[in-house]
A and B are shown apart, each in its own frame.
Chain A
């Protein structure tokens, strides 16, 4: 089993739709969780951190469920510019080990 697992997609959604991605992780000692966005041929960019209490940034909402060991990302009112690969990143362990999910590809269609 991979340490961090994501559905690779692609998710093809119309503009204005709501889309949700999940990511599961296997190491219960993981401490920090993030969603990154990666555009084609570019470096990953931090989208948002994920907290147990849930956090929201505009149209984006992230949630952590420690008991079930998954994190989620919800995008409301999808825009064409949201098309990208969304990477789940898990950090933890005594020396800040960082593990990436495979990424979920989102394509927003006009």
Chain B
């Protein structure tokens, strides 16, 4: 599976949009982009995934560049409860295989 690069940490003001970038320049055509987050002392939680089209659900939006070499996870109105480590992962769907988590981005939402 392709490697991803994320900033180590980011700050965001409560109520503002949080934009978390991810670089996956070696992504292959059949690899999806997944985002998970891990709130302190909990297991990781699925947020969203996509292949090439932008995706939106009740938690977030995922914007994937046209060349698919990078993506951005958007939390439209960040709250203090969104403070967590966010992991960007690329993986072949139906590969019955592991997810490589990397070190993720620590998002600090501040009042």
Check if A and B associate: no
Interface residues of A (CB under 8 A from B): none
